[in-house]
Amino acid sequence: MEKISVVIPVYEEEENLLPLYKELKEVLNSLPWDHEIILVDDGSRDNSWNIIKEISSKDPAVKGIRFRRNFGQTAALVAGFDEATGDVIITMDADRQNDPKDIPRLLEKLQEGYDIVSGWRKNRKDPFLTRKLPSAIANWLISWVTGLHLHDYGCTLKAYRADVVKNIQLYGQMHRFIPAVASIYGVEVAELVVNHRPRVAGRSKYGLSRTFKVLLDLIALKFLLSYSTRPLHIFGGVGLLSLFLGFISGIYLTYVKYAKRQPIGNRPLLSLTVLLILAGVQLIVLGLLGELLTRTYHESSGKKIYAIREKTP
């Protein structure tokens, strides 16, 4: 390890920036590696950007990035990842609830051979109903869907090896799922209990509405983890099931029509049978089109469907 990059998304945190910078510099200066701090202003409407410029003008290790508007925390982290030049990237919030003193512990854990070390706010200093309870449910659900069991997916305080995180494409609000997305490539993930402090200035930008966005992103993540390179397996599987049910009901209607001599034209089952067969054909065709798009994407972009950790000499 030669250099550490600390990436911090900032959204209207003018009261917290200077105290956070002083705390962070004290910790980073005590470490035996070079460092840089990347502050990404995610469209703040307060004085955050002017403070970032002031800090950057006095400290060459600080870089400031300002978005034209609020794009969200994922976009801010991606911009920081793109700008980072360190071998290890640390992410943390700008609200000072993450403790910079936990950074050396994250780095020690990373040096044990892990690729990602995720913080766990075990004693979280947030309201129970609006923050802690929805978070606990979301963490359980994400762990169940992805197969990667972490206590606290939402903790921004994490340490990443740069070669891992720079090869992950993130969209929407997928930043909280980085460990799960990276697990596709077989990275080693560890979790570490970190200090979580109560907010002393500014206000939280998140509420219960974020829960629904997490659920939608989780559906997209499950598809990416399981079927991104084989869409025919999910669409074709559902399509075959639909065709099977349609043919079964069709055989039954044929039996009723010709064996029992009963009319079937006014039966809702006839409409359902036609619908199931048509839906099955459409889903299989959709899966085939997905296969073509997947192959076109990988072959035209040269993107590999695997990741190599190292090679022998």
Band the pLDDT of 219: cuts 50, 70, 90. Answer: confident
Same domain for 156 and 66 = yes
The answer to the question of residue 129 being in a domain is yes
The answer to the question of residue 312 being in a domain is no
Write out pLDDT tens, residues 34-54.
999 999 999 888 899 999 999
Q: Which domain holds residue 235?
A: 231-301
Same domain for 217 and 266 = no
**What is the model's pLDDT at position 91?**
96
> Can you say how many angstroms the Cα of residue 286 is from the centroid of all Cα atoms in its chain?
26
SS3 191: strand
**What is the model's pLDDT at position 307?**
47
Q: List the single range of 51-65, 116-130, 188-202 with lowest mean pLDDT.
A: 116-130
> From residue 9, how far is each of 56, 162, 190, 307 by CA, in Å?
15, 17, 23, 28
The answer to the question of residue 311 being in a domain is no
Share of the chain above pLDDT 90, in %: 42
Write out pLDDT tens, residues 60-79.
999 999 998 888 888 889 88
Q: What global pTM score does this model have?
A: 0.74
Cross-sheet strand order for the sheet of 88-91: 62-66, 34-41, 3-10, 88-91, 158-161, 116-120, 189-193
Same domain for 243 and 194 = no
Same domain for 79 and 24 = yes
Number of domains in the chain: 2
**What is the model's pLDDT at position 304?**
54
Same domain for 190 and 220 = yes
Q: List the single range of 132-136, 139-143, 179-183, 240-244 with lowest mean pLDDT.
A: 132-136
